[in-house]
Structures are given as structure tokens and as C-alpha cells.
Chains A and B, each alone.
Chain A
Amino acid sequence: MRKGIVQLVAIGVVIGVAVALVAVLFQWLPESASEEFDRIQDIYWFATWMSVVIFAVVAAVVVYSVWKWRVPPDDDAEGPPIHGHTGLEIAWTAVPAILVIALGIVSAVVLSRNAEEKEGALEVRALGQQFAWTFEYPELGDFETGELVLPVGRQAQFTMESVDVIHSFWVPNLGQKMDAVPGIETEIFVTPKRTGEFAVVCTELCGLGHATMRAKARVVTPAEFDQWIEEQRT
């Protein structure tokens, strides 16, 4: 029996390492460009390590059992009549409970931090319409653009609106996403932390042109941003 447990653990470790390699060798997440996305990525890794272990445990038991106890079709014997084991059952109720509650708490904390309005937030209105995004900066002037430009390091407060059907605003590298719903105003906060060019995509099916409802987002230095605003005003 002792030997069996060692073998089982060995299989588990092999599977776990293999899955962990898949998790780290590929770049699953887009490179984060916002403080909010950093926090989301932390939970992502929490969930990933948890999942790697859980999957390894389940797969190891399945593989080990089949390897060890497989019998030919004509075998007529029956297995030992094990009906349950209270200790084990308590364990596999309690451990997942602890894990998911931990995940829930971390998530709730991140959620509320990602929704905190900081002072001096830049107000941006994102208008969804079949099939293009329009952005407005109500504090900075009366103009509209099809390109989203944000200053690095300053929190942006997005207010989403739609005039026809539901759209959804997403910049993969910034992490945050929110639907633009006709009749309701929705909002998210994003604090870009590095400059660069990113894609804005609409992720809610909104009709024939949904796939092409994309735009460009640029995160620039504050100086460049001010200059861009100047240009837009004129």
C-alpha cells in the first residue's frame, strides 16, 4: 500500500508539472497595461495554481486506478464493498470550500479596488453605436473621436452609453470590460500604467458588423495627451 501511494503521488507530480508547464510556457494573458489588470492577473494566477493542483489530483487518481486495477473483460470478481469514508468525505467538502471562499474573498477585494474612483480621474464617455465607437472627453472640450487616447498613470473613468443595441467595451490589455446598454449608464475605471497602442473591441454581439466594431486605443505620456487634446479642440 505504501508503494502504491508513492506511485500515485509520482503520477500526480508528473501530471501537475506537465500542466503547470502548459500554464507558464504559453503567454495566456495579454501583457498588462493597467493597474486594474495587474490585480486581475494576480487572481488569475491564484485560480490557475489551484486548478493545476485539482486537475492533477483527479487525473492522477483516474490514471493510477486504471493502470493498477484494470482487469480483462472475462474477470468476474467484484471489488471490495467500500461504501464511504466519513473522514475523506469531510475533507473533500471542506478543502474546496476553503479554496473557493478564499478565491471569493480575494476577488471581492480586487473588484472593489478596481472600482475605486481616485481623485482627478479623467472622464471619458464611450458611445457604442452600430458599428463604431465614439469617445468624448466632456471635461476637456466639445469634440468626438473614433480613437481612444489616454494619458499614462492617470485614472480614467469611462461612462458607457449606447443608442441602439447592447455593445461591450473592451481593451484586452487594459483588462476591464463593460457593456454599453441602451437606457442605462454603466461605468468602469482604468488606470493605464504604460504607453503603447492597443485594440478596442466590441465583445457583445450587436448585429451584422459586430466583428468589425474595432477601434484603436493609444496610451501616451501626459504631455502628448495634452497636445493631442489641443489638436482635437481646433
Chain B
Amino acid sequence: MTATHPSPDVQQYPAHFEPPHGSTWRTFFGPGLVRGAWMTVAGFLIGMLLVLALRWWWGWEPLWNTEVILVVGGMVLAPIGFLAGIGSFDYWLHYISGRPTRPEDHSGHGAKTWKDYFRVNTDHKVIGIQYLVTTFAFFTIGGLMAMFFRAELAQPGLQFVDSQTFNGLVSVHATLMIFLFIIPAFAGLANFAVPLMLGAPDMAFPRLNALSFWLLPIAGLMFVASFLAPGGAFGAGWTGYAPLAEGQPLGQTFFNMGVQWAGASSIMTALNFLVTIITMRAPGMTFWRMPLLVWANFTTSLLVVLATPFIAGSQFFVMFDRVMHTSFFVPEGGGYVLGYQHIFWFYSHPAVYIMMLPGFGIVSEVISSMSRKPIFGYRLMALSLLGILVLGFSVWAHHMFVAGMADWLRVPMMITTLLIAIPTGIKVFSWIATLWRGRIHLTTPMLFALGFVTMFVIGGLSGIYLGSVPIDIAASDTYFIVAHIHYVLFGGSVFTIYAGVYYWFPKMTGRMYSETLGKWHFWMTFLSFNATFFPMHYVGLRGMPRRVFDYDEAFGNMNLFISIASFVLGASFVLFVYNVITSWQRGPVAEANPWRARTLEWQVSSPPPIFNFDEIPQVVGGPYEYGVPGARHAILTPTKEAQKEAEEVHA
């Protein structure tokens, strides 16, 4: 099943099993994008014929039901066809059918040319980069949608789009940002960093890892493609509340199914992280010596594995109600409308911590190594993550304070919600205590980390307002919520993603980014971010509901200001993209350890050798022992590559 745990009950692969690369036969029938393309079409056709055959057999009228055919053919079998086509399943199919497989086959490892990023690659470092590039592409799309509806919102009344399109833009914006940007971008960073930090050669299940990545573009394209569906994109918000979602045009099914693909991807990745962290730590790497990024991904993965099935369930029910005429949430049929919200939020509240805890981990790495100090209160930092994990499962109904749910649930949910401030506070205070008397290097990742600390406190505090039921009653479903969302998700998660990308950029690409451009990017983002989202607290409390294309004249000027600021925020992203692209092509060559950090990924060359370590390192101490005389995190023989490089430099 895996490269690192070869199962002996498989046979050796006979030599010359596959035809050579480059032949026409191989192009069409070997794993790759070409086979992926035609097998997608084949998958769709099979699905369509299946539906038609079954409907004909049952005698259901009309024979042609677009929604059913789209769901079965377009959203289930076509993606499976694609995955099979690019070769995600080749190994397993050989294994299952008892044909020869090659457990030690590393042809899926490493990337020599850019083309290697477009195939099923089993190398966690390649997959990490695949994730990041893909997620930033979807961030651009989701961001441009925000630019579009901000333009619409600059004035009251409808200017550019009709109201279904407006709702579609808002819904797809949020859906892409959450499912195709924040969650997988963290998965990408962790994919790159976690095995290295653990001293492992790869993830536990490299092929599963590749599969999880390839599920992602499927989900993303499904969300974006909903704009092409008759009736327009899904427009019930990213929360897709029933019964509104059940009366939506066809586009809603794209949401129902897209979430399944994105969710499956997240669950598989999380499983992989958990198994990797539990079974593949280097000798001496006890749990209490793991870097906090690893801890953060450990807790996040537990959240993902346990919570994600609930959103899958909620979307299945909506889809059944739509396609199979069930009545899960249809009161006339005996369904219970609020059930949707309970099930949805039982995932989606933990999801907000899925979208934040990995960021906490990144920031811990950055702040410690840029302040040249051990992280303050390491154990409590790890334990507070677990505290958030546990509390996170007990607060879902704070999204339903005004939803008409049982009254007795409100106060307990309020208390647990407010208690989350305690473990989170421990983290915030420990970060700033880490700064205290440090030797602070104000590099770009550090700027973003500090920007995160301050902005996340604002977002967290607005969360505390909302946690108090009476205030939430006044503020719920207004722009105050929109402000909260973006302070925690942009000022929180996105800032940490930026910090992480800048921090590991030299490790991933072997080149240094431009520090000047990075700093410009930070300040422009920081200022325009506040100008965009801070005033939203105001318009929200004053009476502007969320998810509206039209609003009271009184909010006109404020919204114009917000829209203009949001365009500056959008433009700031151009600096980032420019910096990344040019530095990747021709930035100065990066050293192995430009930050002089202690964690393991910095002890190998930049970029790391194909199998990370020539010999598994021996861990002998904590990961952040800055300033402790003679302390070491690990002993490792330098890899051949690193040695070669060092010799060249000293020659």
C-alpha cells in the first residue's frame, strides 16, 4: 500500500512491464492528462447511460432528467474517470486484481521539470507545492468574485448583475475561499513541512496523498462550473440553508457534490497526517519534542476526521431532498428544518478551527525563530490546541442563537463559546511573551505573523461579542458578521498562510524572495485590509444585513469607501504574485537555513533532497532551544546533496 511500509505480500514488478514513454499508445492509454481527459468523458457517458437505462427499466417519466444525469454522470462518474485516467488508481487496481505491483517504485517521486507537477506525484514536497499553486489559483478566482460584488455594492441598488448572480457570486466566493483556499492551503504547507519536521522520508501513504490532492481541482471546478448551470450558480450562501437550497436552481447540486469531493480530500489528508505523525517520527522525537506546527496539524487532523462527515451528511440530505424527493428538511413531509443547521454547524464550527489551528502552528514557528527565543510555554501551547479541539465540538449552536432552536441550548452554548477565549488567549499571550526580550528580525514572514496576532485578536474579540447571546441577537446576519469572518479568516488564516509561504519559500524553491517587495506587500495588505473590513462592523450594527445587493441609502458612502479599499486590497495581491513568480525564476539562491532555525526541515538542503534525509536523524532535544548553550534539536549526518553544496561553496 505504501512506499515506506512495503507490504511483503506483493510481488515484484517484472521488468519492461510498461511500454516506453513517448509512444502514441502510451500517451493515450498510459496514466496522464490525455487519458484523464477521455476517461472523464467516458465516465460521464457511462453515468448518463446508467441513469437512462435505470429510468427506462423502471418506466420513470421523463426519461431525461438533467439534474439526475448531471449528478450521477457529471459529478460522480466523470470525476472518477478523471482520477482513474490520470493514474491515481493504477497501483491499487494492480494490487486488487492480484497483478504484479512494485512497492518500491519511486517513479512517482520528485519533480525534474514543471511537467512533473501535472501528474500523479507521490512526493510530499511536490504535492505540497501542487496544493499551494492550486489553492492560490482558486484564491484569485474567489477574490475576483469579491471584487465584482464589491463593485456592485459600491452603490445601493442593482448595477451590474441580477440578484441570482449576486447571490451566486457571494456563495461561490465564500465556498472557494473556505474549501479551495484556506483549508487546502494549510494542507499544502503542512504536506511540505510536516514529514520534514518529523524526520520522515515521506507521508505514511504517498499514493493516498496524491489522490487527496487530485480531488481538489475536481471540487473547485465543480464550484466554478455552477455558473454555467441553467439558472445560475448556487445562491444560498456557503451555508446552503435548507429549505432555501432545496428550491434553488440546478447550480445548488454543484455545491452539494463539490463539498463531497473537497471533504473527501480533506479527510484523506488528515488521516495521512495522523498516521504519519503517530508512526513515523524520527527516533527521539517524542510528542513533547514535536514542533508546534506538527502539533497544530495533529489537532486539526483530528477535527477533520471527526467533523467533516457531518457536512457530507448535510449536503447528501439536501441533495436527496432535491433529487429523490425525500423530506429531510421539508416540513410538509414531516421533515425538520432546523436539523440542517445543527448538522451543518456540527461540522462548520469545528471547521473554523480547522481553518485556524494550522495557522497557529505556522505562527509559532515563525515567531520563535525570528525572535531567536524558545516558544514561551511550549507545553501549554500544545495543550491549548487540544483544549480548543475539545471545546470546538461543543459550541456549534452559537450560529443558531436566532434560528429558533430550543431555548435551553442557548446559555450552555454561550458559555462554551466564551470559554474558547481562554485557550486562545493562552496562545496569544504566549506569542507576545516569546517576543519579549527576543532579538527580533522583522522579516516579511515575521511581519505577517505579528499582523496576524493583532488582527486575530480583533477578530476573536468580535467573536466574543457574538458569543454573548443578547449581542448576537442584535448583530447576527449583519455586516458585523462579515467583519468578524474576514478578521478571523483574512487577518487570521490568510495572514498566516502568507507568513508560511514566505517562511518556507526558500526551502520549497531553493531561492530567496524579495524582502523589499514582501514588506510592501505586507503594509499594503495590512492597511487596506483594515480599511475594507473594519467599517463593516459599523454598517452591520447600524442595520445593514448581510447577503444583500441593495441596502439603505444611509450606508452608501460607507460602502463606497469599503469597495475602494477592497480594490486596493485586491491589488496588493498582485505584489505577492509578482514577487513569488520572479523570485522563483531568478531570485538569489537560498542557503539551507536562511533563518538559522532549529527544526529539522532547515537542516537539509534547500530544496530538500528527494528522500529528505540520507539517514533518519536522531532527535535529542526540543525544537526551539534558542539561546540555550549547547542545546540541539537533532543530530543528523548532512545529506549528500548538502555536503556537495557545502564543498562547492567552500572550494
A and B touch in the complex (CB under 8 A): yes
Which residues of A line the B interface, CB within 8 A? 26, 28-30, 37, 39-40, 43-44, 47, 50-51, 54-55, 58-59, 61-62, 65-66, 69-71, 73, 75-85, 88-89, 92-93, 96-97, 99-101, 103-104, 106-108, 110-111, 114-115, 160, 164-166, 168, 170, 172-173, 175-184, 186, 199, 201-212
Given contacts A70-B441, A108-B469, A210-B548, 12 further A-B pairs with CB under 8 A are A28-B538, A43-B470, A75-B439, A76-B596, A80-B437, A81-B373, A100-B419, A104-B414, A166-B337, A173-B543, A178-B473, A182-B331
| Contact present for B470 and A107 (CB under 8 Å) | yes
Distance of A124 Cα from B549 Cα, bound (Å): 30
Measured CB to CB, the closest approach of chain A to B97, in angstroms, equals 49
| Contact present for A81 and B471 (CB under 8 Å) | no
Give chain B residues whose Cβ lies under 8 Å from the Cβ of A100. Answer: 418-419, 421-422, 464
Closest to A113 in B: B470
| Contact present for B437 and A69 (CB under 8 Å) | yes
Give chain A residues whose Cβ lies under 8 Å from the Cβ of B235. Answer: 207
| Contact present for A55 and B432 (CB under 8 Å) | no
| Contact present for B469 and A107 (CB under 8 Å) | yes
Distance of A175 Cα from B464 Cα, bound (Å): 18
Q: Does residue B372 face the partner (Cβ distance < 8 Å to A)?
A: yes
| 20 A-B pairs whose Cβ atoms sit less than 8 Å apart in the complex | A30-B541, A62-B453, A73-B443, A75-B441, A78-B372, A78-B373, A78-B439, A81-B625, A88-B433, A92-B425, A108-B411, A108-B414, A110-B470, A175-B474, A177-B476, A179-B402, A181-B403, A182-B243, A183-B336, A203-B478
| Contact present for B548 and A66 (CB under 8 Å) | no
Give chain A residues whose Cβ lies under 8 Å from the Cβ of B473. Answer: 40, 175-178
| Contact present for A44 and B471 (CB under 8 Å) | yes
Q: Does residue B377 face the partner (Cβ distance < 8 Å to A)?
A: yes
| Contact present for A208 and B163 (CB under 8 Å) | yes
Measured CB to CB, the closest approach of chain A to B459, in angstroms, equals 11
Give chain B residues whose Cβ lies under 8 Å from the Cβ of A209. Answer: 163
Measured CB to CB, the closest approach of chain B to A70, in angstroms, equals 5
Distance of A207 Cα from B464 Cα, bound (Å): 30
| Contact present for B440 and A69 (CB under 8 Å) | yes
Q: With contacts A51-B461, A204-B477 known, is A58 near B470, CB below 8 A?
A: no
| Contact present for A66 and B450 (CB under 8 Å) | yes
Considering the complex, which residues of chain B in the window 445-490 have a beta carbon less than 8 Å from any beta carbon of chain A?
Answer: 450, 453-454, 457-458, 461, 464-465, 468-471, 473-474, 476-478
Query: Which among A26, A39, A179 is the interface contact of B470 at CB below 8 angstroms?
Result: A39
| Contact present for A77 and B422 (CB under 8 Å) | no
Place the interface of chain B in its size category: 35 or more
Query: Which among A43, A201, A205 is the interface contact of B244 at CB below 8 angstroms?
Result: A205
Distance of A66 Cα from B461 Cα, bound (Å): 23
Considering the complex, which residues of chain B in the window 331-347 have a beta carbon less than 8 Å from any beta carbon of chain A?
Answer: 331, 335-338
Q: Does residue B628 face the partner (Cβ distance < 8 Å to A)?
A: yes
Give chain A residues whose Cβ lies under 8 Å from the Cβ of B378. Answer: 83-84
Give chain A residues whose Cβ lies under 8 Å from the Cβ of B430. Answer: 89
Measured CB to CB, the closest approach of chain A to B589, in angstroms, equals 17
| Contact present for A103 and B468 (CB under 8 Å) | yes
Considering the complex, which residues of chain B in the window 39-53 have a beta carbon less than 8 Å from any beta carbon of chain A?
Answer: none
Distance of A85 Cα from B430 Cα, bound (Å): 10
Give chain B residues whose Cβ lies under 8 Å from the Cβ of A82. Answer: 373-374, 376, 433, 436-437
Query: Which among B372, B377, B422, B628 is the interface contact of A84 at CB below 8 angstroms?
Result: B377
Q: Does residue B380 face the partner (Cβ distance < 8 Å to A)?
A: yes
Interface-centre pick from A55, A78, A93, A202 (highest chain B CB count, 10 A): A78
Considering the complex, which residues of chain B in the window 309-333 have a beta carbon less than 8 Å from any beta carbon of chain A?
Answer: 331
| Contact present for A107 and B414 (CB under 8 Å) | yes
Q: Does residue B640 face the partner (Cβ distance < 8 Å to A)?
A: no
Closest to A84 in B: B377
Q: With contacts A47-B464, A175-B473, A211-B163 known, is A62 near B454, CB below 8 A?
A: yes
Give chain A residues whose Cβ lies under 8 Å from the Cβ of B441. Answer: 70-71, 73, 75
Give chain A residues whose Cβ lies under 8 Å from the Cβ of B464. Answer: 47, 50-51, 100, 103
Q: Does residue B252 face the partner (Cβ distance < 8 Å to A)?
A: no
| Contact present for A96 and B421 (CB under 8 Å) | yes
Interface-centre pick from A107, A160, A180 (highest chain B CB count, 10 A): A107
Interface-centre pick from B436, B439, B474, B541 (highest chain A CB count, 10 A): B474
Q: Give me the 7 closest cross-chain CB pairs, A-B, nearest first.
A: A183-B331, A172-B543, A211-B548, A186-B404, A79-B373, A203-B477, A81-B627
Give chain A residues whose Cβ lies under 8 Å from the Cβ of B244. Answer: 165-166, 205-207
Q: Does residue B426 face the partner (Cβ distance < 8 Å to A)?
A: yes
Distance of A79 Cα from B133 Cα, bound (Å): 36
Give chain B residues whose Cβ lies under 8 Å from the Cβ of A106. Answer: 468
Q: Does residue B611 face the partner (Cβ distance < 8 Å to A)?
A: no
Give chain A residues whose Cβ lies under 8 Å from the Cβ of B403. Answer: 166, 179, 181
Give chain A residues whose Cβ lies under 8 Å from the Cβ of B372. Answer: 77-79
Query: Which among A81, A168, A176, A184 is the interface contact of B337 at CB below 8 angstroms?
Result: A184
Give chain B residues whose Cβ lies under 8 Å from the Cβ of A85. Answer: 376-377, 433
| Contact present for A212 and B550 (CB under 8 Å) | yes
Q: Does residue B556 face the partner (Cβ distance < 8 Å to A)?
A: no
Measured CB to CB, the closest approach of chain A to B650, in angstroms, equals 19
| Contact present for A81 and B374 (CB under 8 Å) | yes
Give chain B residues whose Cβ lies under 8 Å from the Cβ of A89. Answer: 377, 380, 426, 430
Measured CB to CB, the closest approach of chain B to A16, in angstroms, equals 13
| Contact present for A166 and B470 (CB under 8 Å) | no
Distance of A172 Cα from B551 Cα, bound (Å): 14
Distance of A80 Cα from B550 Cα, bound (Å): 56
| Contact present for A104 and B418 (CB under 8 Å) | yes
Closest to B171 in A: A205
